Amino acid sequence: MKAPFIIAVDGPAASGKGTIASRLAAAYDVPMLDSGLLYRAVGVLLGRHGGDFDDVAAATQVARDLTPEMLTDPAFRTREAGEAASRVAVHSPVRLALRDMQQAFAQRPEGAVIDGRDIGTVIAPAAPAKLYVTATPEVRAERRWKQLQAQGESVSYDDILDDIRKRDARDGGRADSPMRPADDAVLLDTTEMTIDQATDAARRIVEAARARWELS
Ligand code: C5P
């Protein structure tokens, strides 16, 4: 039987991948999983229980106990949650504990869009459509700053740029780092694009992948 049509949308923080992924999911009428939310939930819940981000066993237990129903808390969308997420995401046992939930999602027969860092490389390496969305740190910081302001968080642009740079180093700084494009991913640099232009470009990439998948 033909593998489901999975669209993997990877890339660094605030590259536009979340918006692109949700628009693709709407366009193709398939469910979407924001995998960053899983790591955010683990970081925030661990912190709430007084846990230490470097305590691998405690973080792994929180990851194992996580269920999809627990993912709706708006606290997972804050700047602090993003920071906590990247602290727990460096632990391989945490990544492993979250893998099953993501892979179950990637096996839905109707297909799915999953956004993250390692979807094309680890979670769904056979995904027929893989995008790797990037933009310069400055442009990503500006987008994240506007988004946080709209959420009512008051924070300076410089602090956000600093966050983004640290996050890039943490997410991509090790030999086994999850944040890298799959060999067959199509790179989409959104630095000079509006979100509508980026979505149109993503649609064209996915359409080409879908045409190949239909013939396969
Ligand atoms: O994409 P988002 O900003 O929500 O991700 C928060 C953090 O979670 C990332 O900086 C990264 O450390 C981690 N993450 C990950 N693998 C994923 C998704 C997110 O390591 N698939």
Return averaged pLDDT per consecutive 10 residues of the chain, 216 residues in all.
92 94 97 97 96 96 95 93 94 95 94 96 96 96 93 92 92 73 95 96 98 93
The Cβ of residue 202 has, within 10 Å, a number of other Cβ atoms equal to 26
Strand ranges (DSSP E) for 13-65? 32-34
Spacing, Cα 103 to ligand 1 middle (Å): 16
Per-residue confidence (pLDDT) for residue 189, from 0 to 100: 97
Strand ranges (DSSP E) for 84-175? 112-116, 129-134
The Cβ of residue 21 has, within 10 Å, a number of other Cβ atoms equal to 28
Per-residue confidence (pLDDT) for residue 180, from 0 to 100: 85
- Could you identify the atom of ligand 1 that is nearest to the CA of residue 18? 1
Name the residue ranges covered by the structural domains of the chain: 1-16+114-208, 32-107
Q: Specify whether the backbone of 50 is left (phi greater than 0), alpha (psi in -120 to 50) or beta.
A: left
Does residue 81 have its Cβ closer than 6 Å to ligand 1? no
Taking alpha carbons only, the member of 16, 39, 24 closest to residue 8 is: 24
Q: Are 95 and 60 in contact (CB under 8 A)?
A: no
Whose CA is closest to atom 13 on ligand 1?
A: 86
Per-residue confidence (pLDDT) for residue 176, from 0 to 100: 67
Does residue 160 have its Cβ closer than 6 Å to ligand 1? no
Spacing, Cα 207 to ligand 1 middle (Å): 26
pTM for this structure?
Answer: 0.95
Calpha distance 63→169 (Å, rounded): 23
Per-residue confidence (pLDDT) for residue 3, from 0 to 100: 86
Whose CA is closest to atom 11 on ligand 1?
A: 86
Domain 1-16+114-208 CATH (choose: 3.40.630.30, 1.20.1260.10, 3.40.50.300, 3.40.50.970) = 3.40.50.300
Residue to mutate (ligand 1; options 39, 121, 163; most atoms within 8 A of CB): 39
Per-residue confidence (pLDDT) for residue 2, from 0 to 100: 82
